[in-house]
Amino acid sequence: MEKTHNMRIDDFARPETMIRGAVKLLVGLLALLLLPTLLQVLIRAIPGLAVVMGLAIVSLVAYAVREGGRTRSRRTEPKGGAERTPVLPTDEEDL
């Protein structure tokens, strides 16, 4: 049997939770600030890397656009009754 722990609002006010959140925020901001600089240094150091990175970014954007259309809910057509079956002529005159 699983033990469920309902989180209360005062759980966020605990010092260890606040410190962990602040560290995550600081690391995230630091990564966002240093990543463009690191990419710029790498592009200048390796001449063909800009082309490869450009193709990778274009590929990721194309994938996101393609898959983004699939997540939307599509209208389903109501499935009414059975399909009509064709009635063939029985007399030779009608042929």
Q: What sign does the dihedral 63-69-72-76 (CA atoms) show?
A: negative
pLDDT band per the 50, 70, 90 thresholds, residue 60? very high
Q: Are the C-beta atoms of 66 and 59 separated by less than 8 Å? A: no
CA 39, 40, 41, 44 dihedral sign is positive
- Strands (DSSP E) along 1-95, which ranges? none
pLDDT level of residue 32 (50, 70, 90 thresholds): very high
Q: What is the pLDDT of residue 77?
A: 61
Residue 17 has pLDDT above 90, yes or no: no
Main-chain dihedrals φ then ψ at residue 48, nearest 5 degrees: -85, -5
Name residues whose C-beta falls within 8 Å of residue 12's C-beta, 6 or more positions apart in sequence: 18
4 pLDDT higher than 90 = no
- Which pTM value belongs to this model? 0.40
**Length reported for the chain:** 95
State the pLDDT at residue 5.
67
How many CB atoms sit inside 10 A of residue 83's CB? 5
